[in-house]
Amino acid sequence: MPCYNDWPSIFKLLENIDKEILELKGEFSVLIVNDGSNEKMPETKSVYKNIKSVKVINMKKNQGHTRSNATGIRYLSKKENYDYLILMDGDGEDRPEEIKLLVNKVLKNEDVSVVAKRVKRSEGLIFSILYNLHKLITLVFTGRMMNFGHYSCLTKKDVDIISLKESLWGNYSGTVKKFISKLDNIPCIRGVRYVQPSKMSFIKLVIHSFSILAVFKYQVLLRSIVFSIILLLLAPNLITNFIIICLIVFTTCVFILSRRENIEGLKNSENQIADIISVHTKRL
């Protein structure tokens, strides 16, 4: 889970995770990616009964939520001492109550990764409308239904697959959808943030949406060309010309956002790690 200054939420989430995994089989360890926080992590005296260990990767500088996730995935892909990776946000929006659903689902078919499909959100009406519009546009231009975010449980095999894809540096969910052929899902409810209000502005939401489309940029280009040809054949007029210009601008934006993808940045992400510290080890 990534963190930028939101330490109260992180430690509250850890306490809740510790409760939720009580009856689950297996060992659970937590890896926090500290994304260059300028607020010092508070000292904690929390003792977790069920979490095996908690480690913090301290990044040298802030690089953003997506790239923090990519760094953690890349780091773990080189480790052998785990079977599954659960990726979740550290602010409470990914509810710890649903960890058991992810785990139970993945254990029914141990070779298939599981994503948390959002069936209910906690945001207001305007955000919900924009989110549904984003899903519709993505479906039309990529042929893929994007109804999940970061919250997911990946097999080690699938972690290894996406850790080599440059698109991971730009967008997680799009990369998972494109490169993992078999995905199961569980229903999830978007939770309410524990402490800090959302810092996601409208512009950031648009960038996030285009980042998903950028993973499928050539499909977007092909479909835009097909749509333009169909419009010209059916109704060659000023409105058609305007729509085609909009499609050109839209596709151009997708390709511009695709420049966020960077295989060298992904490969060298570990060089941006300042240190790794342990904040908890379960007592035997």
Residue 39: pLDDT over 70: yes
What is the pLDDT, as a whole number, of residue 24? 92
Determine the average pLDDT of the residues in 139-157: 93
What is the pLDDT, as a whole number, of residue 121? 58
What is the pLDDT, as a whole number, of residue 168? 96
Could you tell me which residue, 73 or 283, shows the higher pLDDT? Answer: 73
Mean pLDDT of the chain: 91
CA distances from 272 to 54, 150, 212 (A): 20, 22, 25
pLDDT grade for 126, boundaries at 50, 70 and 90: confident
Let me know the angle formed at the C-alpha of 92 by 63 and 156, rounded to the nearest 5 degrees. Answer: 65
Q: What would the pLDDT profile of 232-267 be if each residue is shown by its tens digit?
A: 999 889 999 999 999 999 999 999 999 989 999 999
Cβ-in-10-Å burial (0-12, 13-18, 19+) of 245 comes to exposed
Determine the average pLDDT of the residues in 194-209: 74
pLDDT grade for 180, boundaries at 50, 70 and 90: very high
Matching CATH number, 2-197+263-281, of 3.90.550, 3.40.50, 1.10.287, 1.10.10: 3.90.550
Q: Residue 83 CA to chain centroid, in angstroms? A: 19
Determine the average pLDDT of the residues in 110-117: 94
Phi, psi of 282 (to 5 degrees): -65, 135
Assigned token pair, 92: 């409470």
What is the pLDDT, as a whole number, of residue 203? 78
Q: What would the pLDDT profile of 206-218 be if each residue is shown by its tens digit?
A: 888 899 999 999 9
Strands (E) located in the chain: 2-3, 28-34, 51-59, 84-87, 113-120, 148-155, 183-189, 273-281
Assigned token pair, 108: 């029914």
Angle between helix 202-215 and helix 238-257 axes, rounded to 10 deg = 90
Provide, for the chain, the percentages of residues in helix, strand and coil under a 3-state DSSP scheme, each rounded to the nearest 5.
50, 20, 30
Helix (H, G, I), strand (E, B) or coil at 271: helix
Query: How much of the chain exceeds pLDDT 90, in percent?
Result: 73
Taking the model in full, what pTM does it have? Answer: 0.89
**Domain residue ranges in the chain:** 2-197+263-281
pLDDT grade for 167, boundaries at 50, 70 and 90: very high
Could you tell me which residue, 79 or 151, shows the higher pLDDT? Answer: 151
Residue 122: pLDDT over 80: no
What is the pLDDT, as a whole number, of residue 208? 85
The maximal CA–CA distance of the chain, rounded, in angstroms, is: 75
What is the pLDDT, as a whole number, of residue 94? 92
Helix (H, G, I), strand (E, B) or coil at 236: coil
Residue 199: pLDDT over 80: no
Could you tell me which residue, 25 or 84, shows the higher pLDDT? Answer: 84
Element (H, E) at 10: helix 7-20
What is the pLDDT, as a whole number, of residue 200? 59
Determine the average pLDDT of the residues in 11-39: 94
